[in-house]
Chain A
Amino acid sequence: MKEPTAIILCGFGINSELETAYAFKKAGAKALLIHFSDLEKNPSIFEESQIFVLPGGWSYADQIQSGKILANKLRFKLYPYFKKFIEEKKAVLGICNGFQILVQLGALPGWGDWKEKNFSLITNKSGKFEDRWVYLRTERTVCPFSNSLAECFLIPIRHGEGRFIAKNQKVLETLEEKGQIVFRYANPDGLKAYDYPFNPNGSVESIAGICNEYGNVLGLMPHPECHIRIYQNPLWTNIKKRDNSFLSKILNFFSSSFIKNDCSPLFSSIVNYSKKFI
């Protein structure tokens, strides 16, 4: 079967395009690094592709608000093409800055015509940028990409503005009811985290990633592309050098199995899902 084509957007301060492209390549997609200017010049690339990825980075150096300027650029320059891509149920993934862009754009949660803003991502509660590995918990949702992921796994966050905020309780409840909350920060036991550092940024309801109503648009703050090989795992020397009995003795029962889970299944699921659009 042919491999689906993934647009990995780059340029204007995006900086995680290479590792993201590799993750998709490894999962069986043809990953194309496409500069925003080239996409603007030739939007038909959207039609020829099945996956659209907004990688992490510092688009426009996070000025004004993280993701905002590039979100507007997408809105003002490519809206109809992008909207159509999503309406065709093709896969869209936004990581970190890419998630911020999708939220700023309204493509997440993707309600109505995207115009009314109900959610935002703002400065971490700690006031600091942080690079830290966290436990993420996969919720049962409409998202077709996350089901193959382990119920809890390790993943790095690297952001200063990742605090997920809802305009009010009602929209938050709607988000939950519609099954759009895909990832939550977790304690090492796999249960929803409340406090720092397990909820590293103070996100409401520990929300780390959400999808749109259909589930084909997914965004998350942590970086799944940075946990697809064992050597990226900060505990890899422990996994290799520690014998299992000791490992489970010092780590509690759950996390000893969680720490080995990586994020490769996320990319494989997106690639598999996308094959039908070729």
Chain B
Amino acid sequence: MVKIIEVIFNEEFQQNESIEELLKKEFNLDFAKVFIASDYIFEKDLEQQQAISIAENILCDLVTQRYSLDSPTLADFTIAIEIRYKAAVKDNLGDATYLAIKDFLENFENKIRTSKVYYIKANITKEQLQHFAFKNLYNPLVEDIEIFSNSEAKDFYLKDKNLFIQDSKPGSFSYIPLKKDKNYLEKLSKHRLLALNLEEFKTIIKYYSNPKVIKKRAAVGLQPMPTDVELECIAQTWSEHCKHKIFNALINFNFIEGKKSKKIKIDSLFKTFIYFTTKKLKKSYILSAFVDNAGIFSISDNWAVAVKCETHNAPSALDPFGGALTGILGVNRDVLGAGLGSKPIFNTDIFCFASPFYNKELPPKVLHPKRIFQGVRAGVEKGANASGIPTINGSIIFDDRFLGRPLVFCGTAGLMPIKTKNGLKCYQKYIKPKDRIFLVGGRTGKDGIHGATFSSQHLDETSPTSAVQIGDPFTQKLVLDFLLESQQLGLHSGLTDNGAGGLSSSVGELAQITGGATIHLERCPLKYSGLEPWEIFLSESQERMTVAVPPQNAGDFVVLAKKHNVEVSDIGEFNSSGYLQVKYFDKTVLYLDVKFLHKGLPKPKLFATFKKPEIKTPILKLEEKENYNLDILELLASLNICSRENVIRQYDHEVLGMSVVKPLCGKSFRGPADGAVIQPFYDKNLGICVSNGICPKYSDYDCYVMAQLAIDEAVRNYLAVGGDMNHWVALDNFCWPDPIKSEKNLDGDLKLGQLVRANMALADVAKHYSLPFISGKDSMKNDYVFGNIKISIPPTLLITVVGIIKNIELALTSDFKNEGDLIYLVGKTYPEMRYSEYSLLRNLDQTKLICPTLKEKESFSLYKKLSKAIQKGLLNSCHDCSDGGLAIALAECCIGGETGAKIDLFPLQNLLDLDSTTLLFSESPSRFVVSINPKNKKEFEKILDGSFYVCIGKVQQNSLKIFGKEKLLVDLPVEQMENYYKKTLEEVL
């Protein structure tokens, strides 16, 4: 009888040098060898013959691997460690293996879990190995380990491991009495992870003591107090994550400038600064803004694009791989669930980490930033690549204040027809009473319970581990194919994803459309029995969608699901009763007024303060250097500038065959692209452009500036690849430290003040640039708290811009092209050196430097002109001038094109009266380095007339030479620059 089949690559195919190196380094060893095997563990024993047959047909590649049954595949080792997912965590390999065996043996019924066994030949003890594994190989939140020595190996394979969750009795519901007692309620909130405050409890108590409510409840057999299902549902629906309380709060804002102060009352940041700004722009191409899972805009007469960007910060801090994986799959489902459904066509990902070279002691429970980086990168790779969605644009920001809480932004765009075959508007939902409610996709388990309320709190020592889970791109791909075909056939009337809050959130939100719904929890397929009703309702198990299907289509819907091998369950129906009703085996366990649930939440009243910063005088005078070679090389190798090639290449950025401007460009295949362009229809020249902007470093000065510059950066990146300024939209993602003042958070009002400032800038710039925002998301409380240690992230705003380019032939890349092409710096340089990469590298006194600001009128007028020149096809290259200033922009254009350039700063100096250091490294916004064919000079300059532009040199071979007044300031061969530029992250990943 066989329980375990172990498969291992033969020695010559084992590639574990990186772990071996780590081991040698850690324990000062001369020799270390590692071999990794995969174990397939079966719940019920297999017959010997069957096991051999499964091993040879299904599991083992006999050309490169061998296998063993209930015994180690390797004899010659010192010590070994088995790493496996905890029993409640999804094991994708195990699930796939089951399907694979089922194709082979139709009657096969068994459960399979898998693990990795690392066989180690090295002189280390068990304790050392445990320590090493904890640091490098596994995450105790989601994985278990067992260590065994060579002599214990035999027993290890024969003992029973209890890896399978046993079915248990179905759970039941209970009542939770509410008392008007502060201590009681606070305890209750903390104990059950409700994240409800006293004001909210008061509202809930009031609802339950309303005589009308009491009567209605009695009619369905419920007592006048909340059930656990109800309280959990309310807490989840009212969580910061779902209802964005801070963005909708009443805010008293105190703005202090010098000795004057101004008081401003704001009723909802979202409405005031974002929603109405977009509304006033009256863009006819916007089809759906801020109402659905994603914003939707048209790109042609017949097609529209749904866009959404999400964050997955808290889970990624705890388990970087799982957190990022579920993040990317989650945002894909958002887009799949927009309107009647759209097909994801690209992803973007933006990360903020602490330095991967961080070498101080780590605070408790914090993973090393390098591990977070590696895990997040791998998670996005797994999620996006396996789903067949190209990752075409992104950014990585490094700042040690992201040590406790990394930021992981995942964006997706989906393509949909504007009208479906049966004439419905695909960007809307058509759910009607009597439509069936289907739960589609993965099974429900205990995973991910309390994700919504959890992410609305600080990370601290009590953070729950159930909030971490592993996504399954394969199940999701099946769901995606299935629902897109259902959309094409017109089978469903609406859908949404089960993300934060699970069914409670998805059914709860869709029920608003018809004004009610009834569902039966016992009809939800479970991974294992024994869940309590509130757990089924709240579970955030992945890869699940909630779909509304008109009753006459239900049969076809089920048949189509079978074709795609997707599990679907009819769990109830929509109605217009005004109530959300949840039943569990004939008993009502939740009965809530839909209006109360969604509109009953009291608006918080908050205080915000902002004090306008002053600049210390005298302004620092920068030294004029003889030579800047070293400055440029060091900047090229610095974390915030160096090449992301090593990350980018591990993402599939070209699947679907649409890519026109790829993330890496130029003859070297290494030049950084400003934005991305894709061709969504293979035989049409219409393109979609996407770009992003993010610059948290300016938050320390003023979040107004930070937000201005983030938008401007995204806009520049968009323009640089040829994006159309008359047909574009933007997304906002705010990630903030806790902005609510309390005993534990004394500067909360200042953080809220920063948030107000950022919103003001967003509204101002959006208005000036005529750039409508159509979707957004906020993530508050990005603080790490442990005892007395608190690490807060700098307030961060990510801007994503998406739009069209009418003719992809006019798209541009950043690399220099021809020898002799003229190089221009377009846009004015100011002595704005604060937080410039140069000033950070050289540790200049930031308080004595001027911070860049946006001159939006000047910029907008320039952008219009530049855009016109691009549309006339006058440019050969265009590159945004940002981190590192002019010098780095030039270097990047050279690296991309494998060319050099001869630059003369003198004409610039003449016009601007600035020193060379400032000219080379100032990070004033709204500037571009462009190159043109000399024959276009006249026309180009005519179009740009009235804006600031200077011809600063020309493209030449071999090296970047920059001349100051009669002296050579920079002389760098392009290979040397390339070497510095590419090496830094190569060592990390």
Contact = CB atoms under 8 A, between A and B. Distances in A.
Contacts of A231: 660, 679, 808-809
A58 B386 contact: yes
B388 interface: yes
Interface string A254-266: 0000000000000
A232 B61 contact: no
Given A69-B99, A125-B15, 4 more contacts: A63-B97, A131-B650, A235-B667, A246-B819
A63 B93 contact: yes
A241 B481 CA distance: 40
A84 interface: no
B682 A63 contact: no
A61 B96 contact: yes
Contact of A64 (B9, B96, B659): B96
29 contacts: A12-B478, A13-B386, A13-B388, A13-B477, A13-B478, A15-B387, A15-B477, A16-B655, A57-B388, A58-B477, A60-B474, A63-B96, A63-B474, A64-B96, A69-B58, A72-B58, A117-B61, A125-B15, A129-B650, A158-B385, A158-B654, A231-B808, A234-B669, A237-B665, A237-B812, A238-B817, A241-B877, A246-B819, A250-B667
Contacts of A35: 481, 563-564
A13 B474 contact: yes
A226 B657 contact: yes
Contact of A132 (B57, B649, B811, B898): B649
Interface in B3-22: 9, 13, 15, 18
A122 B61 contact: yes
A231 B64 CA distance: 39
Contacts of A122: 9, 13, 61, 64
A129 B819 CA distance: 36
Interface in A205-248: 223, 225-226, 229, 231-232, 234-238, 240-243, 246
A119 B61 CA distance: 10
B656 interface: yes
Nearest to B812: A237
A30 interface: no
A119 B62 CA distance: 9
A131 B391 CA distance: 11
Chain B interface: which size bin?
35 or more
B817 A242 contact: yes
Contacts of A242: 817-818
Contact of A56 (B62, B387, B655, B664): B655
A62 B666 CA distance: 32
A140 interface: no
Nearest to A56: B655
B563 A58 contact: no
Interface string A57-98: 110111111001100110011000000000000000000000
B98 to A, nearest CB: 10
Contacts of A118: 63
A266 to B, nearest CB: 14
B61 A61 contact: no
A129 B63 contact: no
Interface in A2-40: 10-16, 18-19, 22, 26, 35, 37-38
Nearest to A129: B650
A162 interface: no
B957 interface: yes
Contacts of A229: 679, 682
A97 to B, nearest CB: 10
Contacts of A129: 381, 385, 650, 652
A128 interface: yes
Interface string A111-132: 0000001111011010111111
Contacts of B650: 128-131
B63 A64 contact: no
Contacts, number: 187
B473 interface: yes
Contact of A62 (B386, B809, B813, B897): B386
A153 to B, nearest CB: 16
Nearest to B106: A76
A76 B104 contact: yes
Contacts of B18: 127
B834 interface: no
A242 B818 CA distance: 6
A64 B656 contact: no
A131 B657 contact: no
B651 A131 contact: yes
A156 interface: yes
A79 to B, nearest CB: 12
A120 B654 contact: no
B565 interface: yes
A57 B957 CA distance: 41
A73 B669 contact: no
A242 B562 CA distance: 53
Contacts of A246: 817-819
B957 A250 contact: yes
Interface in B617-663: 648-662
Nearest to A40: B563
A135 B660 CA distance: 19
A142 interface: no
B563 A64 contact: no
Contacts of A37: 562-565
A167 interface: yes
Contacts of A76: 103-104
Contacts of A16: 388, 655-657
A165 interface: yes
Contacts of A194: none
Interface string B85-118: 0000000110011011001100000000000000
Contacts of A251: 667
A60 B657 contact: no
B311 interface: no
A122 B665 CA distance: 29
Contacts of B876: 241
The 3 A-B pairs of least Cβ separation, nearest first, read A15-B388, A19-B657, A63-B96
B51 to A, nearest CB: 16
Interface in B859-877: 876-877
Contacts of B59: 64
A72 B9 contact: no
Contact of B92 (A12, A26, A57, A63): A63
Given A63-B97, A237-B665, A38 B563 contact: yes
A19 B682 contact: yes
A116 B831 CA distance: 72
A133 interface: yes
B682 A123 contact: no
Contact of A72 (B57, B564, B659, B665): B57
B899 interface: yes
Nearest to A15: B388
Contact of A158 (B92, B472, B655, B811): B655
Contact of B473 (A19, A61, A128): A61
Nearest to A227: B657
A12 B62 CA distance: 25
A238 B667 contact: yes
A11 B811 CA distance: 34
A120 B62 CA distance: 9
A263 B213 CA distance: 69
Contact of A120 (B61, B92, B99): B61
A129 B385 CA distance: 9
A264 to B, nearest CB: 13
B64 A165 contact: yes
Contact of B61 (A68, A166, A223, A235): A68
